[in-house]
Structure 1
Amino acid sequence: MNSRRLILDVHALQNVPPSNLNRDDTGAPKTAVYGGAVRARVSSQAWKRATRTYFGNVLDPSELGVRTKRVAELLAGRITRLDSSIDERAAWKLAVAALKAAGIKEIKPPQRKADEAKKNGGPEPAPESEYLLFLSSHQVGALAELAVEGATDIDAFLKVKENKARAKKAADSRHSIDVALFGRMIADSADLNVDAATQVAHALSVHQVANESDYYTAVDDENREEETGAGMIGTVDFNSATLYRYAAVDINLLEKNLGQSLDESDSPATPVRRAVEAFLDGFVSSLPSGKINTFGNHTLPDAVIVKLRTTRPISFVSAFEEPVTADRESAGGHMRGAAERLAAYIPRIEAAYGDEDSTRTWVLHVAPAVEKLAGLGTEAPSLKKLVAAVGAAVAEKLDELPERRG
C-alpha cells in the first residue's frame, strides 16, 4: 500500500428517459460497442463540460478559470479596469505582449476576420490565440497587473529578465479549481501544461440499446383552413438508457496543482477539500444539455458510490460487460439488475485487488431498486451530506500524510 497516495472514485447509476444528450456528426445519440453489444454512450468531454458549467452554482467566479481563444480581449478588459486611461486597442497590445512573455506565442487577429475587415473598411479585429487557452481568474489578474506596470514601454519592460520571469510565473501559479481538476495544454509552451487530476469515463448504458427516431411535423399558424400540409417536417434521433458513470480524482496531483493557491493561514488540505466537494457535487448533479428542450430529460442518479482509496483507481464497468436484460434480472426495468450486478461485483473486485483496511466507502441511494447497494458502505442521507463527509475525509487523510506529521 502506498500510504501517500489518495484516489477518489465516484460511481453513479442514472436512468435517462428518451433523450439525445450527446450526438455524433449525423445528429444521432452517440453509441459504443461493449461486451459485443451496442450501448448508449455519453462522452467524457460532454460530462466534463457539464460539470465545469455546474461549478458556477457552487464556486465563486474568482475560483474558476476561463477557456477561450479570445484571451487577449479578456486580459485587455482587466487592464482597462485597472487603468481607465488605457484605451481598448492599447490594451490589446499590452495583453498580447504579456501573453507572449508568458510563453503563449501565436496571438493575432484571425485571418478570416482580418480579411473581412479590410474588405469592408472596418477596424482591425481583436487578436485571438490559435487554440483555446485555459487561464484562472488569478492568472489573468496577475498578467493584467504586470502589463499595466510596464504600460509606458511594454516591450522594453518585458525584455528585462526578471519581468519576463514574472509573466511566466503569473501564468503558471494560483491555478483555478477547474484548471487543477481538468488540466490544461498549451502547445506553445509545454512547461505551462497542467496535468489533469481528474479522469472521467464515457458513460455507458448497462444494457443494449437501439437508437430510435421521432418523426415530427410543425404547423404554420398562418395556414388557411384549406391548406392542410405541415409547415415543416423532420426527425430527431433519441434513445433511453440506464447509465453507469465513473470518474476518478488523483487527490495528490490535485493538491500539487492547487499548491500555490494557499493563503498562509490555510491548511494545505483546504483548497483540495473545496475542489473535491465542488467536483463531487458537480459530477453527480450535472447533465449534458443536448436536446434538453426537446426531451426535458432532467434526471439525477438513483445511486452514487464514492470510494476513497490508497491504491489505484478502479472502475466497476466490468460488472456490465454482459448486458443487463430487463426480462431476466428485474421486473421490467434495468436499474434493479444493474444494482444487483454492482452489489455482487464490488466486494469481489475489492477483495481481489483493493485494500479493505484503507478504503472508505459512502453510498447514496434513493430508490427501492438500488437498496442492495446500501450495505457497501456508510449511507449518506443526502447529496449535501455525502459531499461534506467526503470532503472532510479527504482533508483528514491529507493531514495524516507522513510529510505533514513531520
Structure 2
Amino acid sequence: MTEPTLFVEVHILQSLPPSNINRDDSGTPKQAVYGGARRARVSSQAWKRATRIEFAKGEAPADRATRTKRIATLLSQRLAAPAADGGAGLETAQADRLAGALLEPLGIKKSSKKEEQSAYLLFFGKRQLDSLIALLGDRAAELAAVADKELEAEIKQLDVVSALSTGHPAEVALFGRMVADLKELNVDAAVQVAHALSTHAVRTEFDYYTAVDDENTDDTGAGMIGTVEFNSSTLYRYAVLGVHQLRDNLTSADAARETAVRFVDAFTRSMPTGHQNTFAHRTLPQLVLITVRTDQPVNLVSAFEEPVAGQQGLAGDSAVALAEELRSVTATWGSAPVQKLATYALNPDKLEASFGPSMPFPALLDALGELVDTWLDQGTVPAQRTNTAEAAKR
C-alpha cells in the first residue's frame, strides 16, 4: 500500500524593479527562452540559498546548519574548546588529529589543494558535531594520545555515521544532502524549487555609471566609469514541500508542522542579494497562492507559455492568467487541489473564483499550520475555508 502524501505548493507572483539579482559568469542577468520568448530567470539555487538564509534567522545559533568544506576545522575547534563549553579541552594538535580520525569513517577526504578542507561541501547541523564528540564520552584525551593504528581501531567501534545521519536540523531536512562517497549520509530533500521565470518577454538594459574622485580638484573627469546590466520583471516563483518527507526527515510531527509554516514564510519573504546595494530591489510578492495536493505536484508555469502582454499591468494580467490556468488544469485533468489559501490585492473580482478569498499573509500561515497539523495527526486535509473574516481572525 502506498504511503499517504501531502504536497504544499507555493505559487508567487512578484514584480522586481530594475535589478540584477542573479547573474551569469559575464555579469548578465540570467535568462531563459520559454514559449519562444526570452525571459528573466533566477536560478533555483539562488532562491534556495536566499530562503535558507531567511529561514535561519528564526533558528537558535546552535540549531542552524552550515554548508562547508571546513568540517574538520569546525570539529577540531569544538574538541579544543573547554569542557564547560561542550568541548574536550584538547591541545590544538591533539584536536586536529582526533578530528581527522573521527571523520575518516565518513569518507570525508582532504582536498589535494587545501589540506584543511574536505574535497566537497558538506551540509550538516552544528548540533551534529556535538553528537560526534559525544561518541567519545570522557575518552577524548585518552584517544588523542594513542598510536595511529590503535586510534583507527577504536574509532571503528564507534557509530560515527549515525551522528551525521540522524538528528538533522530543519534546514537539512528541507533541502536535503547528497554525499557521493557514502550514501548513508544522503538525505532526500523535502523541498523542490523551480527556476523563477518572468511571465513576459524581457530585454536586458545597461546602466552606464561614473564615480567621482572627491579629492580630485584638478579636473572634472570621472574617477571611474563602468556599466552594469539589468532588467525588470514580474516573476512566477514556484516551490513544493512534501510534508510526508519532511516528517520522515525530522521524525517529529510538531517539528514538521513548524518547519513547514516557517519554510513558506521564508520562501515568500526571501530575496537573492545580487547587486542589492546598486538597485535596492527588495519587494514583497503581489500574490501568494498555496495549493495543497495529495496526489502529485503541479507547476503552473504553463500559464505563461504565451508571454503576458501587460495591457493592464504585468502583475494584474499575470494573476488572471494564473487563475485561468489553474481552472484549466483542474477541468482538463480532474486534478483539483484539496485546499487553496491565497493572499493578493490584484483583481479580486477576477481571482476569487479560482483562488478563494484573499486573507492577510499571517492568517494564511496560521491556516496552513492548522491544515498541516490536521494531516499529520489524522491523515486528512480539513475542508476548504471560504470565510475571509473568520480566516483573518485566526
Scaled by the length of structure 2, the TM-score of the pair is 0.88
Structure 1 residues 84-137: Cα deviation after superposition (integer angstroms, max 9, x where no partner)? 631223212221211112x233036x63x56xxxxxxxxxxxx21111111112
1:323 maps to amino acid:
P
* Corresponding residue number in structure 2 for 1:212: 205
Distance 1:371 1:27, change over 3 A: farther
* Corresponding residue number in structure 2 for 1:107: 110
Moved more, 391-400 or 310-319: 391-400
Q: Partners in 2 of 1:354 and 1:178 — Cα distance?
A: 34
**Unmatched 5+ stretches in structure 1:** 115-126, 260-267
* Corresponding residue number in structure 1 for 2:296: 312
Distance 1:184 1:3, change over 3 A: closer
- CA apart distance, 1:3: 7.4
Whether 2:143 is the aligned partner of 1:153: answer: yes
* Corresponding residue number in structure 2 for 1:264: none
- CA apart distance, 1:33: 0.1
- CA apart distance, 1:324: 0.2
- CA apart distance, 1:373: 2.5
- CA apart distance, 1:168: 1.1
Q: Which of the residues 186, 192, 201 maps onto 2:185?
A: 192
- Equivalent residue of 1:368, what SS? coil
**Unmatched 5+ stretches in structure 2:** 381-394
1:91 maps to amino acid:
A
Contact 1:363 1:376 in 2 (8 A): no
Contact 1:69 1:133 in 2 (8 A): yes
1:1-400 superposed matches below 5 A = 4-81=4-81, 82-83=86-87, 85-101=89-105, 103-107=106-110, 111=113, 127-147=116-136, 149-151=138-140, 152-153=142-143, 156=150, 159-160=153-154, 163-164=157-158, 166-224=159-217, 226-259=218-251, 268-327=252-311, 330=312, 333-356=313-336, 359-365=338-344, 367-369=345-347, 372-379=350-357, 381-400=359-378
Contact 1:20 1:239 in 2 (8 A): yes
Q: Partners in 2 of 1:380 and 1:89 — Cα distance?
A: 61
Q: Partners in 2 of 1:247 and 1:296 — Cα distance?
A: 25
Distance 1:145 1:174, change over 3 A: same
Structure 1 residues 13-56: Cα deviation after superposition (integer angstroms, max 9, x where no partner)? 00000000000011010000000000000000000000000012
Q: Partners in 2 of 1:362 and 1:92 — Cα distance?
A: 52
Q: Partners in 1 of 2:234 and 2:348 — Cα distance?
A: 12
Give the total of aligned pairs: 371
- CA apart distance, 1:353: 2.8
2:91 maps to amino acid:
D
Structure 1 residues 323-366: Cα deviation after superposition (integer angstroms, max 9, x where no partner)? 00023xx2xx201110111121112212333544x61110011x
- Equivalent residue of 1:62, what SS? helix
Identity %: 44
2:34 maps to amino acid:
Y
Q: Partners in 2 of 1:293 and 1:197 — Cα distance?
A: 33
1:49 maps to amino acid:
R
